[in-house]
């Protein structure tokens, strides 16, 4: 299995874990809303229901973000080779290593750390369309692209 394929699978696992967590949260909130019974302390009851509704909306937004991440990761072809940095590229630099895909954080493969980042992040915006040998300045740090896979 290639590094790119392992990074791709790690991103899929990241999305699946987030999806499971959010779905469990939504289920818990629905159960809480259904089990909420009208009490004599009406205002307290209504406040509790309103808070649960807000939490449910928040979980709904998280679910929407996960769906967007799923759409992006489906566009990544881990078998493709890139000469320029693009969606799905593994970019090795003199500073860090990146996988341009979704924002999934740090992923370590064979004791090498990669950062799975969205193409919309500031660092990815600087990297996109660059090639091996190009220099990038990010937060007053200059680094060079040493490989694009």
pLDDT band at 43 (very low <50, low <70, confident <90, very high): low
Q: What is the pLDDT of residue 45?
A: 65
Closest by alpha carbon to 126, among 21, 22, 134? 134
Strand partners, 32: none
Q: What is the pLDDT of residue 40?
A: 46
pLDDT digits (tens, 9 = 90+) for 64-111: 999 999 999 999 998 888 899 999 999 999 999 999 999 999 999 999
Instruction: Give the torsion sign (CA, 65, 66, 71, 77).
Output: positive
Q: What is the pLDDT of residue 78?
A: 85
pLDDT band at 30 (very low <50, low <70, confident <90, very high): confident
Sorted by where each begins, the domain ranges of the chain are 3-74, 90-148
Q: What is the pLDDT of residue 129?
A: 97
Q: Are 82 and 89 in contact (CB under 8 A)?
A: yes
pTM exceeds 0.75 for this model: yes
Mean pLDDT of all residues in 143-147: 98
């Amino acid at each position: 299995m290639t590094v790119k394929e392992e990074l791709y699978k790690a991103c899929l696992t990241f999305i699946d874990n987030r999806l499971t967590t959010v779905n469990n949260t939504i289920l818990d909130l629905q159960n809480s809303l259904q089990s909420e019974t009208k009490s004599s302390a009406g205002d307290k009851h209504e406040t509790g229901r309103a808070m649960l509704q807000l939490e449910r909306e928040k979980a709904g937004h998280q679910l929407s973000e996960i769906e967007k991440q799923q759409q992006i990761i489906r566009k990544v072809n881990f078998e493709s080779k890139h000469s320029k940095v693009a969606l799905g590229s593994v970019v090795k630099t003199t500073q860090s290593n990146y996988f341009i895909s979704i924002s999934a954080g740090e992923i370590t493969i064979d004791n090498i750390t990669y950062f799975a980042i969205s193409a919309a992040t500031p660092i990815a915006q600087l990297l996109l369309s660059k090639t091996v040998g190009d220099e990038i300045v990010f937060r007053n740090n200059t680094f060079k692209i040493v490989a694009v896979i």
